[in-house]
Structure 1
Amino acid sequence: MGEHQTAERNEGKIMEQYTSATLISSAANFIMDREETFTHTYRTYVKLRENGPLKLRFWHSNAVDSTWDKGEIARAGMAGGPWVIEAAFIADGGKEPDGTVESGTQVAVTFGTSRSREVAPGETFWSDDVSIDLPEGHFLAFTWTIRTEQAGKSVPFNVEQMLVTAYDAPGNHANEESAGSFTLSDNMQVLPAFIGYEKQVDKRLLFFGDSITQGVRTAKDGYEYWAARIGEGLGAQYGAWNIGAGWARAYDAATNTAWLNKLKQQQGLSNQETQIVLALGVNDLDIGERSAEQLLSDLQSIISVLKEQDASTEIILFTVPPFNFVEQREQEWRKVNETIRTASLPGVSRVFDIAAILSQPAPNEHQEKREYMSNQDDPHPNGLAGKTVAEAFLQWYR
């Protein structure tokens, strides 16, 4: 067996023991591109699905998941550059994400017992396990210092409206408990690809989509979007993982690179049923300017790859939400949803009609209900829409 296959098998064995500890997405849709080397520290506050004594582990993927804008800077499958984790810590972040951590609670995250790690382009790897006792109602604070040794592209991350509170600081401040060195981060979420905790679950439910799945435009630290509300409604015995990414499109996933690999590594785990929710299409029709036929072909390609990986995986396909499309974009949107509703696609187990929940009455189905828009000009669903969709999904799902 080759070195790459051995590493994949070892990663899979670890994944069987760990499930996602949070409903926030840490998918990477951008990449740091600097004209000089840098050393920088990032501290992010995350609400976990469960508190108390926990054994955590962090999985890293040094690649861009999905295309940002038109792909001039970041595109799906792009490998990150070389960089170094100088230090990483978890801590009790307290009840308020104010930049500090509770005194005496920081625990070092190690990699093969080392506190630092060199990261190669495109590499995936796990941290060692690390334990913490996190009081109910407290955030987990994840802090790490990253260093580059050459200019150019380096660390993949998520650039989008902040859904969690985060801080950053130039230099190495990972072991500091105070907030004195840090400033509030803006549109920059720098986290490992997977934050897992040791737990045996009955079923894994994976949410795979764009900014609407990610939860963009809902309240910071509110976990109001439908993926988070569904995970909360199902309870911790369901291993729910949100892999939504702003600007993402089906043809990103159809490249069968880093982003789709996140789903594939969750498939075929022993004694665990896996269900995948595919919620894609808005960005394909919009900035991607894809036809209905092209979008449906990409969705079918994704489904086929996932079923080849593990035929027992159940795939739940969402209709494409209304995004106030007009003219030709509206016509393509209608064609796609008609196909999904009437014929579905081979390999799909069930179809959930999210569009029917969010849409205005006919003949304006392509328009989103005003009360569900994040503002009068932005059709990203708000927290009320997240609540409505989640309630409908849970009733339908059960």
Structure 2
Amino acid sequence: MSQDEKDRRRCMKRIQRKQILALLTTAALTIAFAGCGTSNTPTEESAETTSTADQELSLLDTYVSNTVISTGSNTVIKNAEHVTYRAWFPVEAAGEYDYRFYFSNTVDSTWGDGSESHVGMSGGSYTIEKATVYDGGTEFDANVEPIVSAAVTFSGSAAKEVAPDETFWSDPVTLNVPEGHYLLWEWTVNGTNIPAIAMSNLTYAYADKGDGKGFLYTNEIPVPQLVGCDRKVKTRIVTLGDSVTQGCQTSEFGYQFWAAQLLDQLGTEDYSLWNLGIGYARASDCARQGNWLNRAVAGADLITVAFGTNDIISGPYGGTGHATPEEIEADVRKITKTCTDAGIRTILWNSPPFDMTPELDGIRTAYNETVEGIAKDNGATYFDVASLLANPSDASKTVYGQHPNDEGGTVITDALVKLIQE
């Protein structure tokens, strides 16, 4: 197949994807109206909202992720009184680019039992007082002021009032991040219930609460949902899943989780990678087809889908306990179909071992028996990650830890690269 034909097909897939996203957004609005006690179809006002959301997500054709750090949300900052946050992002591709940052003021997935934060939870009203990006240098120091900076604006203004459930982009800003340097994101916010992510020592995250103590490490930090730049790539990879995809319990600040290793092996000349793995996430969260799944679909040419563990252990938000194999299958089938219907090459994982009780591992085993069929039915590629990570003498036990360590990440990556390049 010629390169022109490949480009034409890629263009057609993206057009189809936009059409499907419009349908998904309309469906989500209809569900929201029904949940508010009405069975009416969306009004002209909601149709306008749908159009705006489509326009926002269409920018993902131009702005691709430039960091492998996960930027979803699974918790909230309950009260931030003029707090300044800093996050150091390793960049996928160095050099000068126009950056834009995407935000969603709705929580993507459930944390723990959902009592603190949960899928679809509306963020509170808050103010962005100021936002700046920097060349973060090569050496991390939370309290040293970087030299090279660029102000981030929103519709031409340095400040922005953010409404519950609002989605929005920053204006374009040009920044040069040299090879081996971090991109440093800094913003000062004031408000309540601001969606955030538990960073789990995957990169440097700090907060200055204005109490004279300076910047101190914080595990929970609000960040943009996309650190995007106008880099041209052939394939946009999205990794969609839970804490295994996010990279939890790999080397602290080492960037050796499997998603980072995957991009290292594939290279950044042809690929970008947007990490949408979120700790504690369930398939039932993603299957609600909120902004998390919608932006994943809009931003992907190739997507990995990896769920199951938290559905088994914690069950769906609002449920009464562990999900059944049938419930997990239904949710994963819905996610997979959404991806493949949009023309995205989809790699569907089964659920890896997690050193569970025999009862829970029985749920995992029963669910895993359905995964290859889900993939086949929807035109996806099946990835048997469980066999790669299981103890040869006991398939219910792990070799590389409940969350695969750096070595386990390499095992996953080696197999995925072969699959992707077939």
Normalization by structure 2: what TM-score?
0.83
Superposition deviation, residue 264 in structure 1: 3.1
> 1:167 Cα shift?
1.4
The answer as to 2:376 corresponding to 1:331 is no
* Residue equivalent to 1:175: none
1:189 aligned partner? 221
Q: Quick check: 1:381 aligned with 2:374? A: no
CA offsets, 1:83-132, max 9 Å, x none? 01000001111111211456531210001111011111001100011111
| Residue identity in the other structure for 2:290 | T
CA RMSD of aligned residues (A): 1.9
- In the alignment, what sits opposite 2:232? 200
Write the distance in 2 (CA, Å) between the matches of 1:127 and 1:100.
26
Residue type of the partner of 1:162?
N
Q: Does residue 269 of structure 2 align to residue 239 of structure 1?
A: no
Task: Decide whether the 8 Å contact of 2:336 with 2:380 is kept in 1.
Answer: no
CA distance in 2: counterparts of 1:253 and 1:126, whole angstroms: 22
Counting only pairs closer than 5 Å after superposition, residues 332-351 of structure 1 correspond to structure 2 as: 332-341=363-372, 344=375, 346-351=377-382
2:126 to 59, 83, 89: 83
Structure 1 or 2: more helix by fraction? 2
Letter in 1 for 2:398: E
Identity of aligned residues (%): 34
Instruction: Give the 5 Å matches for 1:1-398.
Output: 2-34=47-79, 38-100=81-143, 103-148=146-191, 153-171=192-210, 182-236=214-268, 237-266=270-299, 274-288=301-315, 289-308=322-341, 310=342, 312-341=343-372, 344=375, 346-362=377-393, 364-369=394-399, 372-373=400-401, 379-398=402-421
Tell whether the 8 Å contact from 1:206 to 1:263 is kept in structure 2 after alignment: yes
Q: Is the 8 A contact 1:93 1:101 kept in 2?
A: no
Unaligned runs of 5+ in 1: 173-179, 268-273, 374-378
- Moved beyond 6 Å, runs of 4+: none
Structure 1 CA distance, aligned partners of 2:146 and 2:329?
53
Distance in 1 between residues matched to 2:100 and 2:204, nearest whole Å: 21
Whether the 8 Å CA contact 1:92–1:139 is kept in 2: the answer is: yes
CA contact (8 A) 1:76 1:259 kept: no
The letter for the 2-side match of 1:66 is S
How much has 1:181 moved relative to structure 2? 5.8
Residue 176 of structure 1 corresponds to none
Q: 1:267-306 deviations in whole A, cap 9, x for unaligned?
A: 6xxxxxx121100001111122111111101111222333
Q: Residue 29 of structure 1 aligns to which amino acid in structure 2?
A: N
Greater shift after overlay, 219-228 or 92-101?
92-101
1:24, 1:156 → 2: CA distance?
16
Q: 1:216: Cα distance to partner?
A: 0.6
Gaps of 5+ in 2: 1-43, 316-321
In the alignment, the residues of structure 1 paired with residue 143 and residue 278 of structure 2 have an alpha-carbon distance, to the nearest angstrom, of 28
The 1-side partners of 2:69 and 2:150 are apart by 22
Matched with 2:35 is: none
Native 8 Å contact 1:93 1:100 kept in 2: no
Provide closer, same or farther for how the CA distance between residues 163 and 28 of structure 1 changes in structure 2, counting only shifts above 3 A.
Answer: same
When structure 1 is superposed on structure 2, of 283-292 and 102-111 the one drifting more is: 102-111
Q: Residues 242 and 278 of structure 2 are in contact (CA less than 8 Å); yes or no, is this contact kept in structure 1?
A: yes
TM-score, length-scaled by structure 1? 0.88
Which segment drifts farther, 41-50 or 252-261? 252-261
User: Is residue 40–residue 147 contact of structure 1 (8 Å, CA) maintained in 2?
Assistant: yes
Is the 8 Å Cα contact of residues 91 and 101 (structure 1) preserved in structure 2? no
Q: Quick check: 1:61–1:258 contact (8 Å CA) kept in 2?
A: yes
- Alpha-carbon deviations, 1:202-256, whole Å to 9, x = none? 1121100000000011123211111111122112221211100000010001111
Is contact 1:344-1:351 (8 Å) kept?
A: yes
Q: How many Å apart are 1:160 and its aligned residue?
A: 4.6
Q: Deviations over 1:160-199 (max 9, x none)?
A: 5221112111249xxxxxxx86333232232101100101
Question: How far apart in 2 are the matches of 1:224 and 1:147?
Answer: 34
Q: How big is the shift at 1:342?
A: 5.8
Q: Indicate conservation of the 8 Å contact 2:247/2:258, yes or no.
A: yes
Q: Tell me how far apart the structure 2 counterparts of residues 386 and 20 of structure 1 sit (CA, whole Å).
A: 21
Query: Equivalent residue for 1:376?
Result: none
- For residues 382 and 144 of structure 2, the distance between their equivalents in structure 1, rounded to whole angstroms, comes to 44
